[in-house]
Chain A
Amino acid sequence: MMQPIKLVFLNFNYVLLSTVIFISMMTGLLILSEYIFLDPYVVSHLPSGTELGFVLILTLSSLSALVIPMNIFRISILKSSKQKMGGGVVGSIVGAAAGACSCGPVGFAVISTFGSVGATATAFLTNYEIPIRIIAIAILVVTYFTTIKSLKVECDIRSRS
């Protein structure tokens, strides 16, 4: 099970890509979900009752940082289909969108721009933030296992040929 991961992350470029994805996604989501504030001072804050949301953001960022580089490796090194990359990207986007729309500037901008349609969409994403993030994590977990399986098969075929 570890071999495909080693195969990808022995290349420093993929470690770097993974780190960039993790840090940017985690920081972005923590700012959007108001765990980190940049103005007027840089400060982090974990209000009571929001611990689950924080853990889900960390999990989502970690899985995205793991799954996306592995899929890019499959496409660029093994020249395999781009279709299977979809799961990782969809999972990350869905998870990110869930927390982005709430009472903050993103939600305000969406509602101001799109009126009642925006308000309905924002309300949906806010009301189901936790379930949507869990679904996003599930998508990423499934994508992880299918990617591992795919890498094993493709590498096996290449080593035989």
Chain B
Amino acid sequence: MNKKAVILGVIIVAIVAGIAASVSSSSSETVNLDMGRTHGTISTVMGSAILGDPSAPITIVEFGDYQCHQCYNWFHNTKPAITRDYIETGKANLVFVDLAFLGNDSPKAAQASYCAEDQGMYWDYHDLLYNSQEPKIDGGWANSERLKAFAFSLDLDMELFESCLDSGKYSKRVQYNIQQARDNGVRGTPGFFIVGPDGQQQISGAQPFSVFKQILDPMI
């Protein structure tokens, strides 16, 4: 009788834990918990959460800076078609890795994106930064106050976000990502690696959709 009670208790605890886990994950994004995550030659362990199906055969690794106007161009002119044709269809997924080198506000903006990730809003915050980019580097649009205002507009917990940003919690994470870019020969933003089952191909600059299509299609 006692044995049965213990087994029943374990099952109940397991079910409750399972429900709790599913509820918490449904209200947030998949945070990167794979501490050995690599794509091709690139360690993406400190990069963003994966956008799209994690089991997709192709991964697009984007190295970018939130103050880079060419990244803005790519975000607005090329990324929508890639999202529509490859990410939403499960053919590819995307990881963003910071190469925050353009100005003083760049590393802070990258850190802010990970503070948003803590609250399950990485991609919302990422998109908001690229939608809010202004032409001037270090012109104030991505200073600490504005980064906090962006968080506020996404209804993030401001106490958590501010303590995260002000403490520089993700400073080393961003530095690690910058080093990954250098180690992999990225010499500007945006820079891409298309990592498929048979290897990887580098693309430099905000190239048009047609170039990505020519590389992605044979890999599928």
Q: B52 at the A/B interface (Cβ < 8 Å)? A: no
Q: Which of A40, A45, A111, A126 contacts B215 (CB 8 A)?
A: A40
A28 → chain B, closest Cβ, in Å? Answer: 15
Check B70 against A40 for contact (C-beta < 8 Å): no
Q: Which of B203, B206, B208 contacts A40 (CB 8 A)?
A: B203
Q: B40 at the A/B interface (Cβ < 8 Å)? A: no
Interfacial residues, chain B to chain A (CB-CB below 8 A): 65, 68-71, 73, 76-77, 101-104, 135-139, 187-190, 201, 203-208, 210-211, 214-215
Q: Enumerate chain B residues within 8 angstroms of A50, measured Cβ to Cβ.
A: 73
Binds B, one of A77-85, A97-105, A135-143: A97-105
Q: Enumerate chain A residues within 8 angstroms of B188, measured Cβ to Cβ.
A: 103-105, 107-108
**Given contacts A37-B211, A47-B73, A104-B70, are A109 and B187 in contact (CB under 8 A)?**
yes
B116 → chain A, closest Cβ, in Å? Answer: 23
**Given contacts A34-B205, A37-B211, A43-B207, are A105 and B187 in contact (CB under 8 A)?**
yes
Interfacial residues, chain A to chain B (CB-CB below 8 A): 34, 37, 39-41, 43, 45, 47-50, 102-105, 107-109, 111-112, 119, 122-123, 126-127
Check A123 against B102 for contact (C-beta < 8 Å): yes
Q: Enumerate chain B residues within 8 angstroms of A119, measured Cβ to Cβ.
A: 101-104
Q: Which of A47, A107, A109 contacts B102 (CB 8 A)?
A: A107
Check B137 against A127 for contact (C-beta < 8 Å): yes
Rounded to whole angstroms, the CA-CA distance of A109 and B188 in the bound complex is 9
B72 → chain A, closest Cβ, in Å? Answer: 9
Rounded to whole angstroms, the CA-CA distance of A29 and B73 in the bound complex is 18
Check A103 against B65 for contact (C-beta < 8 Å): yes
Q: Enumerate chain A residues within 8 angstroms of B73, measured Cβ to Cβ.
A: 34, 47, 49-50
Check A102 against B70 for contact (C-beta < 8 Å): yes
Q: Which of B71, B137, B190, B203 contacts A126 (CB 8 A)?
A: B137
22 A-B contact pairs sorted by A residue (CB < 8 Å): A40-B215, A45-B208, A47-B73, A47-B76, A47-B77, A49-B76, A102-B68, A102-B70, A103-B69, A103-B71, A103-B189, A104-B188, A105-B188, A107-B188, A119-B102, A119-B103, A123-B138, A126-B69, A126-B137, A127-B136, A127-B137, A127-B139
Rounded to whole angstroms, the CA-CA distance of A127 and B77 in the bound complex is 21
Q: Enumerate chain B residues within 8 angstroms of A47, measured Cβ to Cβ.
A: 73, 76-77, 206, 208
Check A103 against B207 for contact (C-beta < 8 Å): no
Check B187 against A34 for contact (C-beta < 8 Å): no
Contacts A37-B204, A111-B101 given; 18 further ones with Cβ under 8 A? Answer: A40-B203, A40-B214, A43-B207, A47-B206, A47-B208, A48-B76, A103-B65, A103-B188, A107-B102, A108-B188, A112-B101, A119-B103, A123-B103, A123-B136, A123-B137, A123-B138, A126-B137, A127-B139
